Chains A and B, each alone.
Chain A
């Protein structure tokens, strides 16, 4: 595993917006649910500005992995360092990491009792202590970026799934995070709405944001990712540039997976 990481670091050309600074470092990380070993010996280094797509069959631990990065899940062994802060049970560090790491969920998880604008300004006002007016201005900017400023005063329940997910992206961006995590952001959407969310994510990728996306959208992976990570049974099985990953998969498990999702 460490071989792959090491060779990757030297082989890949530097893409625009990517630096040598390390955004996330995971070393020998293990996690169990009771007796079940969900994540096994995970080693992963993410550089600032890097776009990573994590793929794999369901139950392979990919969501759990990115949820460990902002401590929605707790790891039991190994180390996770995010933006120079190691995640331990220290609540202060956890809150600090969480305010720097945005997350977009499969089921949007917007707050239904708040308007779109209030969803976006809540965390800046209470966590960052930004004045309300300023937070609203920022929120409107990001809502314009995801192309739904006209919905600002509606409640999430009044929007379509695609619109809700774009609001969720704007809500995360309002905290001006350094890293964005996407946990299957398009899996709960109607086919017609997937594109509008992916377009937003592609635009975000073009700004140089560090992104980790768990997704089954292989087109998105090919277009945007600097690196694709394939997981199975709680382990990283293969990681490579998207070209190599899709055209020249190394492991049998990857080949099988690709043949199944691209086969029809």
Chain B
């Protein structure tokens, strides 16, 4: 510009410049190294320090890992083998304990002959959640269904379940793949019934009982439809009342009657036979599935204009968040029995699930409230101005955007909650980390074995939590691409 000004102030461009290619960039590994690792003396020192630390860790850990012994029946035998192979004083991992006790880490004290039931439940869980999690892209859905199906079949092979169960699983996975291809909506219907199937497979008993519990929702819905339109305000209370009456007085007898007519029974498994990752998954998955809707309701309640609802939500959230989870678990395991009428035996896993759910929901509510607060006020106003009522505005405009903003926080809460399921070890349940490991170590052969179970359990937790984290990143990417 300055040169032009030197000639004359007036200037008219007579040709527009065409876009030009950018100057050549230096490429290659050397350039990458220089830019990212050795860009200055400080960065170079940090790089060398980092390499040193990595080497130090590897140097200490690798001999131990490479001296691992997988075939041994006791810690003593492991030590002897290592001493014989690598000389006196050598250390090594003793993964024989995993080889011998893997089934307890996975299933707790669930009867061995019934391992097909939790595995079937796991396989069906994949089939139930895949169409929900991957509703948009059929290629990814197909891939996830296939991979999770193979994982289930692999586990079935390891657990030596009966052939007919494996064949059934093959058939189910095949059906799911076909439906996922041509009618993904149908798979969602299965998702609706999954809780019933899952509960029945895991705890056994009569199929009719969980089915009748689910039917309560249908009864409630029917009742809302039967209310004449001029009393529309009564529809919701009528529905709730009908469902409660059904659950309290009718569901049991009807289930019993149907059970007599068409028995569909599995051997009953008691809750204290559950343990290991089976227990962690049951608590974690139920908690995740229930804490999200509860958290949404609490977040909306906290922002409500209605004073009582607002105050209730604030007290609930602040109280639950202000108390350590372990306190709630102790309440679930000990105190609750004092409050309940004598003689009621309220399943311990159910009690724990309820406590974990409300604990996670309180955190969830605050995460989602952050998302709600981040929405510009104009969105609420536009929804109002178009005549949408409160629930329509929340469901169609506010929540889709607020939840999208809160995805990292929501998934973070899920991951934290799933790891917190190990705390049930402190109230006497057999969680994989402490409960089962303590039990394994109580046997003289495995006395004093710490690292190997931790590594095994940690690796499984890592795989599950890392998958959740990756999913959240995928979802964020997908939504940001869609919405811009």
Contact = CB atoms under 8 A, between A and B. Distances in A.
Contacts of A105: 378, 381-382, 385
A123 B386 contact: yes
A95 interface: yes
B385 A103 contact: yes
Contacts of A102: 385
Interface in B15-64: none
Contact of A99 (B378, B379, B387, B483): B387
A77 interface: no
A98 B386 contact: yes
Contacts, number: 70
A94 to B, nearest CB: 9
A263 to B, nearest CB: 29
B483 A157 contact: yes
Given A111-B397, A112-B401, A113-B401, A175 B386 contact: yes
A127 interface: yes
Q: Which of B385, B392, B397, B482 has most chain A Cβ within 10 Å?
A: B385
B404 interface: yes
Contacts of B378: 105, 107-109
A157 B379 contact: no
Nearest to A71: B384
A158 B484 contact: yes
Interface string A70-94: 1010000000000000000001000
A101 B389 CA distance: 15
B385 A98 contact: yes
B322 to A, nearest CB: 33
B478 to A, nearest CB: 12
A86 B392 CA distance: 24
A157 B388 contact: no
Interface residues of B, number: 21
A108 B483 CA distance: 16
Q: Which of B379, B401, B404, B484 has most chain A Cβ within 10 Å?
A: B484
A172 B385 CA distance: 9
A157 B483 CA distance: 7
A67 B376 CA distance: 17
A110 interface: yes
A72 B400 contact: no
B396 interface: yes
By DSSP majority rule, is chain B's interface helix, strand, loop, or mixed? Answer: helix
A72 B482 CA distance: 30
A126 interface: yes
A113 B482 CA distance: 8
A163 to B, nearest CB: 14
A261 to B, nearest CB: 26
Interface in A162-199: 171-172, 175
A89 to B, nearest CB: 11
Given A107-B378, A113-B404, A158-B484, A70 B392 contact: no
Nearest to A102: B385
B396 A126 contact: yes
A116 interface: no
Given A126-B392, A126-B396, A155-B483, A111 B387 contact: no
Contact of A127 (B381, B382, B387): B387
Interface in B133-147: none
Contacts of A157: 483-484
Interface in A117-176: 122-123, 126-127, 155-158, 171-172, 175
A47 B389 CA distance: 28
A109 B381 CA distance: 8
B483 A70 contact: no
Given A155-B483, A157-B483, A158-B484, A111 B385 contact: no
B381 A122 contact: no
Contacts of B385: 70, 72, 98, 101-103, 105, 172
A108 B381 CA distance: 11
A126 B388 contact: yes
Contacts of A109: 376, 378-379, 381-382
Nearest to B401: A113
A111 B379 contact: yes
Interface of A: 70, 72, 91, 95-96, 98-99, 101-103, 105, 107-113, 122-123, 126-127, 155-158, 171-172, 175
7 contacts: A91-B389, A101-B385, A105-B381, A111-B379, A112-B483, A127-B386, A158-B484
Given A175-B386, A175-B387, 4 more contacts: A99-B387, A105-B381, A123-B387, A156-B484
